[in-house]
Amino acid sequence: MNIDLPTTSSKKKLIISTVSIIVVLLALYKVFTPSVPAINKTDLKFASVSQGPLDIYVNSFGEFASQEERLLTAPARGKVSEILVRPGALVKPDTVIIKLINPLLEQQVSQATGVLNQVKAQQAAFVFEQSSARLNYLGRIEEFKAALEHAELELAVHTQLLTFGTGSKIKMQRAQLALKQSVSSLSFEQKKYQQFIEMQSHQFTQKTIEVEQQQEKLNLLNQQLSQMSVRAGLKGTLQTLEITLGQSVSLGQSIAKVGSIDKLVAKIRLPQRQADQISLGAAVTIDTQKGQIPAHITRIESLVTSGSVLAEVSLDGPLTSNARPSLPISAKVFLQHKTNVIHVTQSIGLRPNSKQSIFVMHNNMLEKREVTFGQVTNNKLIVKDGLSKNETIVASDMRDFQRFTSLELVQ
C-alpha cells in the first residue's frame, strides 16, 4: 500500500531555512560592514583649494647685530685703575670706558720732553753761531772789495802818470798784478761764502730733523699717555668688557668691544636644503614684533651648522622702536615666483612637506584622500598632488575619524 506524504510541510521548512540564512547574512553584513557616520557641518572648518601665482618665501629666524664694531686694546702696558662703564651701557665716541696707569710711561714722557727742549736749544745756538760766522765771511768780503777798489785806483793813477810820461811802466805792471790778485781773492772768498751757506743749510736741516724726530717721539708718548683713558670711539653700546679692576694689561691686549646701536644688520639662519636656492640680493622682510623692515641678503656663509647656514642681511628701511643688537627676529626670504600653483590656507593639522590623509567635501559627503603637501609660504600651503582647484577640504582636526573612508555631512 502506498502512503502519500504531504509536501506542504517540506516546502515550509525550506522557505524558513532560506529566510533564516538571509537574515543571518544580513546581520553578519551589518556587523562586519562599518556604517557611514554622520558629522555636523557647523562643527567643522573648511578651506578652499586655490590655483594661481604665488611668491615663495623661506621662513627664518635670527637676531640683530651691530653693523659697526670696535675692538678696544691697551695702548701701552699698565694697570686698570678705574672702570667707568659696564657692558650694556650706551656710549658716545668720547666716553671713557676705563683708565690705566703706567708710571714708567709718565717718566718716559718727562724724559722725552727734556730731550726735545735740549735739541731745540742746540738748534737755536747753531742758528746764532752760523749767523755770527756769516757776518765774519761778509766782513772779509767787504775787506777784499775795499782792497780791489784800492788796486783799481792805484792802476788808474799809474796809467795816468805813464800817459803824462812821468810814471814808471813797471809800477803800472805791479798795479795791474795787484788788481788781478784782488779780483781773484774776492772771487775766491765769495765762493767760500756760498759753500758755507750751502753747508750751513744742510746742517740746519739736520738739526731740524733731530728736533722733528724728538717731537714725534714725544707726541707718540703723549698719545699713549692720553690713550690710557680708553674711549669708546663710536656711538653705540659697550658689548663686552674683558678686564677687571687692578688687572695688569700689556700693549695691544684686548680690553672691550663696542658696537653701534643705530646702525644694525640682521644675521639669520637659512635651512640647509633651501640655502642653495637663495641668491645674494634676495629680498627679505624682517619682523621685530613691533613692525617690519625691508632688507636684502648681502652675504651667505658656506659653513653648515646644525642643518642651517648663516646669512647676513642689510636693512633697507628705518629701524623699529625696539630694534637693538641681539634682538631676536623672524624673517621671510624671497625664494622664487611661481605662476600657477595649487595651494590652500595653512591650518592646524596640515603639515608642510608631508603626505597625509585629509577629507575632501563632495556634495554632502566627506571622502578621505591622500594628499601630498609642499612648503608653506605666506600662510599658503602648496599642494603637490591629490587636490584640484575649487575643491573644499576639512581644515579641522579629524584624527578621531581617520578609520573611516567617508563621512556624511548633516546640518
So what's the architecture of 72-101+228-260 in CATH?
Beta Barrel (2.40)
So what's the architecture of 38-64+263-410 in CATH?
Beta Barrel (2.40)
Neighbours of 87 (CB within 10 A): 13
Judge whether residue 4 has pLDDT over 70. Answer: no
Judge whether residue 295 has pLDDT over 90. Answer: yes
Burial class (CB in 10 A: 0-12, 13-18, 19+), 284: buried
pLDDT one-digit tens code per residue, 175-187: 777 778 877 777 7
Burial class (CB in 10 A: 0-12, 13-18, 19+), 274: middle
Judge whether residue 28 has pLDDT over 60. Answer: no
Overall average pLDDT of the 338-358 stretch: 85
pLDDT confidence tier of residue 223, bands split at 50, 70 and 90? confident
Measured in residues, the chain has a length of 411
More confident residue, 404 or 8: 404
Judge whether residue 47 has pLDDT over 90. Answer: no
pLDDT confidence tier of residue 411, bands split at 50, 70 and 90? confident
The pLDDT score that the predictor gives to residue 96 is 93
The pLDDT score that the predictor gives to residue 3 is 46
The pLDDT score that the predictor gives to residue 369 is 87
The pLDDT score that the predictor gives to residue 40 is 80
pLDDT one-digit tens code per residue, 156-176: 776 777 676 666 777 777 777
Q: What is the pTM of this model?
A: 0.57
Long-range CB pairs of 138-146 (<8 Å, 24+ gap) are 138/193, 140/189, 141/186, 141/189, 141/190, 141/193, 144/182, 144/185, 144/186, 144/189, 145/186
Neighbours of 5 (CB within 10 A): 7
Residue spans per domain, the chain: 38-64+263-410, 72-101+228-260, 103-226
CA–CA distance, 267 with 60 (Å, rounded to integer) = 10
23-32, 82-91, 201-210, 372-381: range with highest mean pLDDT: 82-91
- Reading the block at residue 169, the C-alpha cell is 811802466
CA–CA distance, 393 with 382 (Å, rounded to integer) = 14
CA diameter of the chain: 225
Instruction: Measure the N-to-C terminal CA separation of the chain; round to a whole number of Å.
Output: 75
Judge whether residue 141 has pLDDT over 90. Answer: no
Overall average pLDDT of the 109-135 stretch: 84
The pLDDT score that the predictor gives to residue 266 is 93
Judge whether residue 42 has pLDDT over 80. Answer: no
Judge whether residue 5 has pLDDT over 60. Answer: no
* Three-state DSSP state, 45: coil
**Percentage of the chain lying above the pLDDT 70 cut:** 92
Partners of 286 in the β-ladder: 293, 331
The pLDDT score that the predictor gives to residue 170 is 76
pLDDT confidence tier of residue 26, bands split at 50, 70 and 90? low
Judge whether residue 150 has pLDDT over 80. Answer: no
pLDDT one-digit tens code per residue, 243-286: 999 999 998 899 999 999 889 999 999 888 778 788 888 899 99
